[in-house]
Chains A and B, each alone.
Chain A
Amino acid sequence: MLTELVNNYNEAIYDTDRAKAMQVVETALEKGATPEMVIFDLVVPAMQQMIKGISEDYDANLAQHFLTAQIAGEVTDAMLEKIESPPEPIGMIVIGTADGDIHSLGKRIVMGCLKANLVESIDLGVNVPPERFVDEASAAGASVIGISAMMVHTATGENGPRAVRRLLRERGLEEKIKLIVGGAPFRFSPDIAKSVGADAVADNGIAACRVVKNCLKKGRS
């Protein structure tokens, strides 16, 4: 049953058809799937399939990323409400767009995917000063700072990820908090991520989820 449902769900996502995707979720519940099964056997595998597709050069696109994340976030919220003892989050990230940058879509995609993977996100919004990233991550005990930047000067400038790296170093937090970056400039030139001091770079919003989980796993080990 689940294989067919996963296929139907994926088909709806690829067609950017939210109503159809939500109908698949309803059908799964009607056929006896538990809320946990909907999250872990339907939504998360669909996301993993998309990540696999992207890495194999499947032509997944921004609209599909947006809807995957949007629906994953919505379904996860709805299913968690149905679970008596919701599972503990597996980690925490603070996320925002770089100083001077108000392009928020990538951040939203990452957050939707992380939610379905039970990673807690603290959304710092857009145009976030470097100090705030570090202050908030430190105060919340987050293991990852995620910075989205869509313009070259916000990705590489003195108040972007580079400044966050400097602050982490000055405060002795580099072992505790990892820095992940994403956005168009890094896609066109992945080497920029290294030069601004990022621990990891995500090629797109969906792939960011895997990168964050890897960082969290390394942090725990």
Chain B
Amino acid sequence: MITGMERLAAAINGEKSDRIPVFCNLIDQGAKELGLPIKEYFSDGAHVAEAQIRMREKYGFDNVWSLFYVGREAELFGCDNVIYATDGPPNVGSFIIKNFREIENLPVPDNLTSHPVFEEQKKCLDMLKKEVGGRYPICAYITSSMSLPVMLMGMERWMELLFLGPADLRELLLEKCFTFFVREVEAYRQLGADVLVYSNPFGSTDTVPLTYFTDHSLPLIIKEMEAVGAQGMVYYCGMSRFNQVIDIIIEKTDFRAFYISPLDDLAGAKAIVAGRGLTCGVVNDIKLLEWSQDQIRSHVRQLIQDGMPGGRFLIGTGVMPYNIPETSIRSMLEAAYEFGQFD
């Protein structure tokens, strides 16, 4: 039987398999799957790995995740206040940088694979690698240097520092975040992650003007890719739109996979990528909370019609909200499997 890894490889190479790859990002749902409260679920990497494997088998999609929750990166920097919800992802409860001067003494965690906070992720990755490695792509989530400060000081304060604050501290924080980024990518690769979802809202023109992107975001993206290489990297802007920058990213970096915002024009994105990489059409999964089965099916069919012609296409989701009914998850996936078949 064909594996998710084979489907992904075929899509990347512009070849046909049985159907397009389908990436379904069920993260918090793992707790539901194991019947555990969210806090208990995320306390043990074995829980996360087990749930990822079970959910992939149950629904038949093509990927598994090593992501616990996005705020985990802040915990690696020392954040010890996390808000746990009963029906959504854990969230940073207080920021470790409360005033700009604290940036000067902010330590950057060095050996991540032996870091106590990373221990559970390591456990999770080891299990995933043992159970599904080589057959199903193991995904990891990496926040870019320019977006990581949001985890450490909040978006409001980071915007303040970026546009109004002292330039020396801004540059120092970016340098520290760059150092962390490189270490994190190396750690995930060493532990067997195949797909690195590079999250950078500051790589989106929904967040910054195009001129700011070219003058400030792009040089940092280039520096990051020169340091770690773009192997396995997927360009993603936290569901924000970035069609305007795809061409320049392809021209200036080795990124060859793009996770298009559901608010952007998928057919337009595909035309811009123009066979130079993998275009990922993304389901507007927040709608799955309320849509009927027919609406879901119709949405998925439209995405596939827009993105599949010419190949090099994958369909995926954002971070699926916890309360999406299981029937709706199934409807979405069945539509993707049906309409995404090759002749």
Contact = CB atoms under 8 A, between A and B. Distances in A.
Interface stretch (A2-10, A36-44, A100-108, A173-181): A100-108
A121 interface: no
Contact of A59 (B244, B262, B290): B244
Contacts of B263: 187-188
A45 to B, nearest CB: 20
B154 A100 contact: no
B164 A152 contact: no
B88 interface: yes
Contacts of A213: none
B92 A16 contact: no
B322 A153 contact: yes
Interface in B180-221: 204-212
B70 to A, nearest CB: 10
What is the interface of chain B mostly: helix, strand, loop, or mixed? loop
A189 interface: yes
B159 A63 contact: yes
B37 to A, nearest CB: 14
Interface centre among A14, A18, A191 (most CB of B within 10 A): A191
B206 A62 contact: yes
B87 interface: yes
A117 interface: no
A76 interface: no
Which of A61, A154, A187 has its CB near the most chain B CB atoms (within 10 A)?
A61
B321 A103 contact: no
B289 A66 contact: no
Given A63-B159, A151-B89, A151-B91, A189 B206 contact: no
B231 interface: no
A59 B204 CA distance: 11
B208 A61 contact: yes
A156 B289 contact: yes
Contacts of B244: 59
Given A127-B83, A189-B289, A61 B155 contact: no
Contacts of B83: 100, 102, 127
Contact of A185 (B156, B163, B286): B286
Contacts of B305: none
Contacts of B92: 102
A156 B155 contact: no
Contacts of A184: 239
User: How large, as a class, is the contact surface on chain A?
Assistant: 20 to 34
Nearest to B94: A102
A72 B339 CA distance: 50
B290 A192 contact: yes
Contacts of A101: 91
Contacts of B91: 100-102, 151
Interface string B37-55: 0000000000000000000
A198 B91 CA distance: 24
Interface in A152-194: 152-154, 156-157, 184-185, 187-189, 191-192
A175 B239 CA distance: 37
A137 B238 CA distance: 34
A102 B164 contact: no
A195 B154 contact: no
B164 A18 contact: yes
Contact of B154 (A61, A103, A153, A191): A103
Given A105-B155, A153-B322, A188-B284, A14 B289 contact: no
A143 interface: no
B229 interface: no
A123 interface: no
Interface in A184-221: 184-185, 187-189, 191-192, 195
B323 interface: yes
29 contacts: A14-B209, A16-B212, A59-B205, A59-B209, A61-B208, A62-B159, A62-B207, A63-B159, A66-B159, A70-B164, A100-B88, A102-B154, A103-B154, A104-B154, A105-B156, A127-B83, A151-B89, A151-B91, A153-B88, A153-B321, A153-B322, A154-B85, A157-B87, A157-B88, A185-B286, A188-B239, A188-B262, A189-B290, A191-B290
Interface of B: 83, 85, 87-89, 91-94, 154-156, 159, 162-164, 204-212, 239, 244, 262-263, 284, 286-287, 289-290, 321-323
4 A-B pairs with the lowest CB-CB distances in the bound complex, closest first: A153-B88, A152-B321, A105-B156, A189-B286
